[in-house]
Structure 1
Amino acid sequence: MTIPGDKTAVEWLVSVAPDPDACRREWERNPLGVALLPAGHRWDVLILPGELGHATLEVLDALPAPPGPVIADFGDSRLGFFVPPGTASRWVGTGVRGAGHGTWIVVPYPGRATGGVRWLVVPDGQGTLTDPAVLELAMHEAAARAVGREGGRP
């Protein structure tokens, strides 16, 4: 599967790699279609539990502005939302992990099927990221909807 803008998404992603050419080769040679990239340069990643992450993405998808890139791990047990650098070190929230400066994340090749981690929202190549304040509000909305479906039980 190839998506318009894949080339610019690839260029945007590999721009943070210590060796962009080596990163491209890793994507080509790795049978899983993934590479490790450092967080904290152009983006941080906030990692939500799968159920909350999917519900949050539904809320974000309903907004006029599109969300930034989102990845899901194998089995969709966790979703990673790409947010501005520095967000992970300031984020305070139960059950949400942050990958920022000094951490590395597994990143699939944009637009290519992989055996594990996959894109739910492919990078646009322009650097669009999810605004942390909007993400937080979307998480609250998603949690409120979940409580409403359970009949108001906490």
Structure 2
Amino acid sequence: MVETKEKSFNRIILPVDGSESSDKAVEKSLYLAKKTDLPIIALYIIDMNIYSKTLSSDQVSEQWKAILSNEGDSILKDIKKRAEKHNINVKTRMLEGSPSEEIMNTAGKNDLIIMGIKGKSAIDRILIGSVSENVLHHSSSTVMIVR
């Protein structure tokens, strides 16, 4: 456990989506984990709710979910590989649901959430709002937003 004057942290919670901003959060998380020996929990969250309104059939929805799942596997494997090079303890989780809710449900009060400021696309921000903004304003955990 790392202690600061104000708060001590048990883990780093790292939500990822493959965006440039997310990759910067990965770099910051790896750097801090290396310096502090904190374990990282990397999260990839599939939010089918935003797609269910536009996808017409269950079959199309399942195909899209498979695409997102494959993307998530690739992103999480890359993070694990990068962490292992530096002997950093990383666990990966793929979840389904509202990204901000899943992030806050995973993070404990003494965890540090490190996330990118922007998601993959502007349309996602329009449809679901800013996940980072939502987590920042509603989480009981400490949140670090990386530009």
For this structure pair, what is the TM-score category when the shorter chain's length is used for normalisation?
Answer: under 0.3
TM-score (norm 1): 0.24
When you count helix as a share of all residues, which structure comes out higher? Answer: 2
